[in-house]
């Protein structure tokens, strides 16, 4: 009766030959999905790194070989009973026929439990009749008509033998926000409980795909046809806002725009002269000219050297600042000269030599060890967290342990003291095999173990069709300018963490590549968009929006920028370690240079990624020091300060107030503000008290939200 189909099945090394017929249960494609669907191999259960209750499975079934070993072979095969299959631990535990910490996961004598029993009765063969080549969900994008709507999800899988099978029953659907989307695990029926954009991750075997669901924020349709559209960015941003029915704020006024773009491109406040020039004319061409002028300025190079230095985590080594100096100097030249991002990335990745002389070679002194280097490199240049694949195949991405340890093996050949050089030997042990990992370009191919694989890796990484490199950097540039990445976190680009605007990310990346990886070009593209130029003033309909760019987001000034701004406004420069007096904080080459001011403002030490630190704005410490500390008060009281000099020069309080408003907030003070400060000054009984009031005035300006944020 049975048809022998042995040749059509995949057998695995070390397994005995088995008779395979159409009824033989396919371990990889049938048994594993049962365990995944039941939640047995999640991180909270047996998929944890140390397993649970002495039983360990690979996370989400990512390693069937390991799972087979755990289930069938370990502990003398105690988890399966070949003589009495129904008495197997593998069946008794999940059906809670005996005590099970995880409760009832499978129905007793239900379809899934019976499948496990059948497989055991067949002698626990390890076969894979065919391989999964495509997993799809339907719908993959859905716009709901209203809150409370229901949606039937469906999943199909295509295998090597051509069959397309409905695998909805075996697919795990996991909403990103379980309060927003509730899914019946038996029927795959989703109910949408919150407005906004929601992601559901669908998992079958080793594949995961996202489902995007939109529930409009308002029931009333909005018309954004008249909203300004300056380039492709606006088409994408407004398209999604229309879908979500979120209104857009007006364009920011000229002075707000001037302050914003000047801070973003140069890390400085606009000068009084710049303000005067900008307000005389107001049209788009003037904004374009301003942006171009800022992009070509020396201040841009200085400031964007800092930004890339933060990404590269440039900092001095213990008792050795010369490497950081060389690295920073080299980087500044790349930025000043407009060297394409791919070119200087290649130079970084392939660098060798004395780190005191060869700046980019310091890249290999940034983190310790080959594995950390692989993590750092992938997060920085690919925007991908390979680190998850250290212990197990990445549960939400394509990365395997071979990829992680293979990339680490490339860096293992480097000797990373002061002089970076390639060693003849050097390896990392693959934890699964216990042997040396083979160098590998992640997700692509293995490399010759004997050679320096960095050249091949750099070539692959910076090739035009690399799917990660350009997206990783344009997403960071977008975040820098807009306050939120299209993908967050910026080092976690993956299919299951899709961009809020996937097409926009792709277009930005393509545009970046087409313009020869020119950082200035992409920054210019973003700065010229109407999305960038929007006002921070919110409307009632977009107040809750933090992700779709319906209004400008307020962003805390980076510690270095704030420190320089306070120095500029007060007229008293800070001293940073042994740097040349007058050196601006944004120009410092060493993130570890002694500076109480930068410490209290919450500078990033660059021992880890600085991107998370940017979100916090320095926290409570920074606020307390701004309010009560010496950081501002000491300078205000200095007779050589800007305030002291203005008073000494006989300027009236009103002139002083107006002057500081322009300097600090890049705008004129309002009549109401002016009247308030005049009233305060008038209440002073003598010149000493009047000076106190003016010091308080400057203090209040430098601590107000309008000053300490870019908006």
Partner 1 sequence: MGLLQNLAYSMVPWQFAWTGLVSCACLVLLPVTSGAADPPVTAIAFAPDGESVVLASQAGLSVHDWPDLNTVRQLSTTIVNIHDMEFSPDGGSLAVAGGTPAESGKAQIFAWPDGTSSCELQGHDDSVLAIAWKDDSSIATASLDHDIVVWDVTTRQPSERLKGHSRGVSDLCFLNGYDLLVSSGLDQNLRVWKTESGKVIRTLNNHTKEVYGLALRPATLGIPMIASVSNDRTVRLWQPTIGRMVRFAQLNAIPLAAAWLADGSQVAVAATDGYVRLIDPDTVEVLETIPAVSGWAYSLAVHPGDGSLLVGGRSGQLKRIIIESSRR
> Radius of gyration (Cα) for the chain, nearest Å?
30
- Distance, in Å, from the CA atom of 312 to the CA atom of 478, rounded to the nearest integer, reads 18
Cite the beta strand spans of 17-131 per DSSP E: 127-128
Q: Closest separation between CB of residue 605 and partner 1, Å?
A: 34
Among the listed residues 4, 22, 49, 82, the single contact to partner 1 using CB under 8 A:
82
Q: Closest separation between CB of residue 116 and partner 1, Å?
A: 15
Among the listed residues 30, 46, 79, 525, the single contact to partner 1 using CB under 8 A:
79
Ranges within 88-147 binding partner 1 (CB under 8 A): 89, 92-93, 98-99, 121-125
Binding of partner 1 at residue 572 (CB under 8 A)?
A: no
Closer residue to partner 1, CB minimum distance, 186 or 435: 435
Convert residues 6-45 into a mask of x (bound to partner 1 by CB under 8 A) and - (unbound): --------xxxxx---------------------------
In whole angstroms, how far apart are CA 651 and each of 104, 456, 568, 659? 80, 66, 19, 10
Convert residues 429-458 into a mask of x (bound to partner 1 by CB under 8 A) and - (unbound): -----xx-----------------------
Question: Binding residues for partner 1, how many (CB under 8 A)?
Answer: 29
Which strand (E) or helix (H) includes residue 291? helix 284-295
Among the listed residues 43, 49, 77, 133, the single contact to partner 1 using CB under 8 A:
77
Q: Which stretch binds partner 1 (CB under 8 A): 71-79, 275-283, 307-315, 319-327?
A: 71-79
Q: Closest separation between CB of residue 127 and partner 1, Å?
A: 13
Among the listed residues 52, 87, 521, 623, the single contact to partner 1 using CB under 8 A:
87
Q: Which stretch binds partner 1 (CB under 8 A): 74-82, 464-472, 581-589, 609-617?
A: 74-82
Nearest to 412 by CA among 458, 460, 461, 374: 374
Q: How many helices (H) and strands (E) does the chain have?
A: 28, 19
- Distance, in Å, from the CA atom of 275 to the CA atom of 514, rounded to the nearest integer, reads 34
Closer residue to partner 1, CB minimum distance, 98 or 425: 98
Among the listed residues 65, 81, 537, 573, the single contact to partner 1 using CB under 8 A:
81
Among the listed residues 1, 7, 44, 54, the single contact to partner 1 using CB under 8 A:
54
Q: Closest separation between CB of residue 85 and partner 1, Å?
A: 8
Ranges within 248-277 binding partner 1 (CB under 8 A): none
Among the listed residues 76, 223, 226, 686, the single contact to partner 1 using CB under 8 A:
76
- Distance, in Å, from the CA atom of 544 to the CA atom of 274, rounded to the nearest integer, reads 34
CA 386 centroid distance within chain: 13
Ranges within 586-645 binding partner 1 (CB under 8 A): none
In whole angstroms, how far apart are CA 644 and each of 195, 269, 422, 566? 54, 21, 59, 15
Q: Closest separation between CB of residue 3 and partner 1, Å?
A: 16
Closer residue to partner 1, CB minimum distance, 279 or 429: 429
Q: Closest separation between CB of residue 45 and partner 1, Å?
A: 15
Which strand (E) or helix (H) includes residue 705? helix 705-708
SS3 of 455-480: HHHHHHHCCCCCCCHHHHHHHHHHHH
φ/ψ region of 148 (left if φ > 0, alpha if ψ in -120 to 50, else beta) reads left
φ/ψ region of 42 (left if φ > 0, alpha if ψ in -120 to 50, else beta) reads beta
Peptide bond into 417 cis (omega under 30): no
Convert residues 288-307 into a mask of x (bound to partner 1 by CB under 8 A) and - (unbound): --------------------
Tokens representing residue 437 in the block: 């990992």
Closer residue to partner 1, CB minimum distance, 76 or 273: 76
Residues shown for the chain: 711
Q: Closest separation between CB of residue 343 and partner 1, Å?
A: 44
- Distance, in Å, from the CA atom of 617 to the CA atom of 562, rounded to the nearest integer, reads 10
HSE-up (13 A, CA, CB side) for residue 190 = 34
Q: Closest separation between CB of residue 44 and partner 1, Å?
A: 20
Among the listed residues 3, 83, 319, 580, the single contact to partner 1 using CB under 8 A:
83
Closer residue to partner 1, CB minimum distance, 193 or 429: 429
127 has which bridge partners?
11
∠ CA(309), CA(313), CA(316), 5° rounding? 100
Nearest to 171 by CA among 144, 211, 116, 143: 211
- Distance, in Å, from the CA atom of 138 to the CA atom of 136, rounded to the nearest integer, reads 7
CB atoms within 10 A of CB 502: 16
Closer residue to partner 1, CB minimum distance, 26 or 342: 26
DSSP-derived letter for residue 531 is T
Closer residue to partner 1, CB minimum distance, 78 or 543: 78
Closer residue to partner 1, CB minimum distance, 20 or 382: 20
Binding of partner 1 at residue 671 (CB under 8 A)?
A: no
Binding of partner 1 at residue 73 (CB under 8 A)?
A: yes
Contact residues for partner 1 (CB under 8 A)?
A: 14-18, 54, 73, 75-79, 81-84, 87, 89, 92-93, 98-99, 121-125, 434-435
């Amino acid at each position: 009766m049975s048809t022998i189909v042995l040749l059509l099945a995949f057998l695995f090394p070390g397994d005995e030959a088995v008779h395979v017929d159409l009824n033989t249960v396919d371990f990889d494609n049938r048994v594993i999905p049962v365990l995944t669907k039941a939640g047995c191999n999640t991180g909270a259960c047996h998929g944890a790194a140390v397993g649970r209750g002495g039983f360990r499975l690979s996370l989400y079934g990512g390693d069937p070989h390991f799972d087979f070993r755990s289930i069938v072979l370990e502990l003398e095969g105690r988890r399966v009973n070949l003589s009495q299959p129904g008495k197997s631990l593998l069946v008794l535990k999940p059906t809670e026929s005996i005590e099970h910490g995880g409760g009832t996961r499978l129905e007793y004598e239900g379809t899934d439990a019976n499948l496990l029993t059948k497989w055991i009765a067949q002698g626990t063969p390890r076969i894979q009749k065919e391989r999964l080549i495509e997993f799809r969900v339907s719908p993959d994008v859905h716009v709901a008509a209203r809150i409370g709507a229901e949606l039937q999800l469906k999943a199909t899988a295509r295998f090597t033998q051509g069959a397309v099978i409905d695998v909805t029953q075996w697919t795990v659907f996991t909403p990103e926000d379980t309060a927003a989307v509730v899914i019946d695990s038996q029927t795959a029926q989703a109910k949408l409980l919150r407005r906004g954009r929601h992601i559901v991750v669908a998992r079958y075997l080793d594949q995961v795909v996202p489902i995007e669901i939109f529930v409009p924020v308002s029931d009333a349709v909005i018309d954004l046809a008249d909203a300004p559209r300056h380039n492709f960015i606006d088409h994408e941003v407004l398209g999604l806002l229309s879908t979500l029915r979120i209104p857009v704020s007006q364009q920011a006024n000229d002075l707000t725009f001037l302050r914003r773009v000047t801070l973003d491109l140069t890390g400085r406040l606009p000068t009084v002269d710049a303000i005067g020039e900008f307000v005389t004319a107001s049209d788009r061409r003037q904004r374009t000219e301003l942006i171009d002028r800022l992009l070509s300025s020396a201040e841009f190079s200085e400031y964007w050297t800092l930004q890339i230095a933060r990404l590269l985590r440039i900092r001095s080594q213990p008792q050795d600042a010369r490497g950081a100096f060389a690295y920073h100097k080299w980087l500044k030249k790349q930025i000043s000269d407009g060297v394409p991002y791919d070119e200087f990335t290649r130079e970084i990745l392939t660098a060798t030599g004395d780190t005191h002389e060869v700046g980019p070679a310091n890249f290999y002194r940034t983190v310790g060890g080959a594995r950390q280097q692989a993590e750092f490199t992938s997060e920085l240049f690919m925007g991908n967290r390979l680190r998850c694949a250290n212990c197990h195949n990445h549960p939400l991405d394509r990365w395997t342990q071979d990829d992680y340890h293979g990339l680490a093996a490339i860096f293992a050949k480097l000797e990373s003291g002061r002089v970076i050089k390639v060693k003849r030997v050097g390896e990392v042990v693959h934890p699964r095999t216990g042997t040396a990992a083979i160098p590998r370009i992640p997700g692509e191919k293995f490399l010759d173990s004997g050679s320096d694989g960095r050249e091949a890796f750099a070539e692959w990484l910076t090739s035009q069709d690399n799917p990660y490199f350009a997206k990783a950097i344009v997403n960071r540039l977008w975040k820098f300018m807009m306050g939120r990445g299209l993908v967050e976190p910026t080092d976690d680009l993956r299919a299951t963490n899709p961009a809020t605007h996937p097409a926009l990310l792709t277009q930005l990346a393509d545009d970046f590549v087409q313009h020869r990886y020119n950082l200035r070009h992409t920054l210019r593209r973003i700065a010229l968009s109407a999305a960038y130029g929007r006002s921070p003033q919110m409307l009632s309909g977009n107040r809750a929006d933090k992700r779709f760019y319906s209004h400008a987001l307020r962003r805390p000034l980076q510690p270095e920028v704030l420190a320089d701004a306070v120095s500029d406004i007060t007229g008293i420069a800070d001293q940073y370690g042994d740097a040349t007096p007058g050196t601006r904080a944004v120009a410092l080459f060493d993130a570890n240079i002694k500076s109480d001011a930068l410490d209290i403002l919450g500078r990033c030490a660059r021992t880890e990624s600085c991107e998370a630190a940017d979100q916090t704005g320095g926290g409570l410490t920074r606020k307390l020091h701004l309010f009560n500390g010496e950081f501002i008060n000491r300078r205000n009281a200095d007779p050589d300060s800007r305030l002291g000099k203005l008073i000494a020069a006989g300027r009236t309080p009103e002139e002083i107030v107006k002057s500081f408003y322009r300097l600090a907030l890049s705008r004129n003070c309002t009549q109401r503000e002016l009247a308030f400060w005049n009233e305060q000054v008038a209440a002073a009984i003598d010149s000493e008290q009047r000076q106190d009031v003016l010091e308080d005035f400057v203090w209040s300006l430098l601590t107000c939200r309008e000053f300490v944020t870019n908006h």
